[in-house]
Amino acid sequence: MEGNQEILLTGATGFIGRRLAEAFSDSDYSLTCAVRRKNTLLAPHKTVVGTLNAGTDWSSALKRGQVVVHAAGRAHVTADTAEDPLEEFRKVNVDGTLSLARQAAEQGAKRFIFLSSIGVNGCVNDQPFTVGDVPNPVDPYGKSKWEAEQSLWEVARCTGMEVVIIRPPLVYGPNAPGNFGSLVRWVDKGVPLPLGSIHNKRSLVALDNLVDLIITCIDHPAAANRVFLAGDGEDLSTTELLQGVAKAMGKPSRLVPLPAGLLMLGATVLGKKAMAQRLLGSLQVDISHTQECLNWTPPLTVKQGLQRCFPNHQD
């Protein structure tokens, strides 16, 4: 770790960004957080840049020699009502990212770390995704992240600014949004779930494991101009995940064993096939390249990561 390294963090008010901001603030880094609004409560150093798009002016936030950690973006939108969802994702995730990267390079930024998504590789698999796989994004979010990655490589080629791309699968942690948050709410309410006999394999990444990986990439020489897949290094079935969540919460796991094929059929009839695929299908990530290249090991096991989600329910 370099002393007093200048960091520009975007997305500092989000689920991942908040934890990153805490970690940077507790270190020797000199942190600047780019935020959208003046009334955002965020310490210690914040700069208002407005909405992330192609026209955002980053001049007040950028400094020579900085490492930019770009965690801001348009994430999965439940019940997206946009006429053209891909275009809406592109405005933020592609155009906004490209504008920031170009301005950062012009201002002499040293390195640009981009938080992408395993969705660039795909949504389901029979074999673990590897860093060498041909990208196969299938939804607007994944496609926008892939397009952003390609734009960043072009900036790197033209300017010499180092680029690091990290593709995480589902990120879980305290007060996590999205699919993990939904699972937690179901377990907390004691709702019986027909997921007691699911034999898929899903890779996840604990929030603190992802933060540790990002911090490792700040100044690791081997990280420059590479793509890294993130993960805990342990794969769970949906059944095992729900059992682990329940145990970490100190709650019973009310799981009813129903065949996955029957559940998929019912979800398809109800127009919920995509949701069922996330619960019933497999998505494994091979992080061996990340571990070997960076000499990195996830600090937390899945059990420890789940325990950190519910600090008031410890054994």
Pseudo-torsion of CA 207, 213, 214, 219, nearest 10°? 160
For the chain, how many residues are written? 315
The residue whose two tokens read 């590897």 is 130
Residues 43-51: contacts with CB within 8 Å, 24+ apart?
46/12
Report yes or no: 101 and 112 within 8 Å, Cβ to Cβ: yes
Report yes or no: 165 and 145 within 8 Å, Cβ to Cβ: no
The distance of Cα 222 from the centroid of its chain, to the nearest Å, equals 21
In the set 24, 58, 112, 141, the catalytic residue is 141
Question: Which residues lie across from 46 on neighbouring strands?
Answer: 33
Q: Which amino acid is at 264?
A: M
| Closest among 282, 292, 177, 173 to 226, alpha carbons compared | 292
Task: Compute the distance between CA of residue 95 and CA of residue 115 in angstroms, rounded to an integer.
Answer: 15
Using left for φ > 0, alpha for ψ between -120 and 50, and beta otherwise, residue 187 falls in alpha
Confirm whether 172 is a catalytic residue.
no
Find the helix or strand (DSSP H, E) in which 264 lies.
helix 260-269
Residue 54's φ and ψ, nearest 5 degrees, are -65, -25
Q: Which residues contact 224 (CB under 8 A, 6 or more apart)?
A: 111, 162, 163, 164
Catalytic residue ranges: 141
